[in-house]
């Protein structure tokens, strides 16, 4: 979860939309010749909406049973598990590469030394 979402209850896109709507309303008041007293009112309403969204986001996080710190700890644990899985897969890939190299060397050597197979040669 991003820091902005933790603090404001919205991500960067939501914040830009919110600021855009607030700016558009202020621009509309300015263009239409509305009273200048509406600017502080619009600013106050905009801040009130951000506060309400923040409160709703906090309640949603609490309903999930996770505080911000717990969510961070859970995320870190998940990332550590994924890293362990990745390291395990990497070691398996390295082992398979070694086996492939060994097999290629055997095949290359057997191409040079072509011995006829007789009875008991497979032992």
- Spell out the domain ranges in the chain: 1-65, 68-110
Q: What is the dihedral of CA 29, 31, 32, 35, to 10 degrees?
A: 40
Is 122's pLDDT higher than 60?
no
pLDDT digits (tens, 9 = 90+) for 35-77: 888 889 999 999 898 888 888 877 777 666 656 677 778 889 9
Confidence of residue 95 (pLDDT cuts 50, 70, 90): very high
Confidence of residue 93 (pLDDT cuts 50, 70, 90): very high
Q: Are 80 and 73 in contact (CB under 8 A)?
A: no
């Amino acid at each position: 979860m991003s820091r902005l979402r933790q603090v404001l209850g919205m991500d960067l896109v939501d914040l830009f939309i919110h600021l855009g709507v607030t700016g558009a309303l202020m621009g509309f008041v300015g263009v239409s010749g509305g009273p200048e007293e509406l600017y502080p009112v619009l600013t106050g309403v905009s801040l009130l909406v951000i506060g309400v969204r923040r409160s709703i986001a906090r309640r949603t996080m609490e309903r999930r049973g996770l505080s911000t710190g717990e969510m961070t700890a859970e995320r870190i644990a998940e990332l550590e598990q994924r890293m362990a899985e990745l390291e395990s897969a990497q070691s398996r890939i390295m082992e398979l590469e070694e086996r492939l190299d060994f097999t290629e060397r055997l095949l290359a050597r057997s191409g040079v030394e072509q011995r006829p197979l007789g009875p008991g040669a497979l032992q």
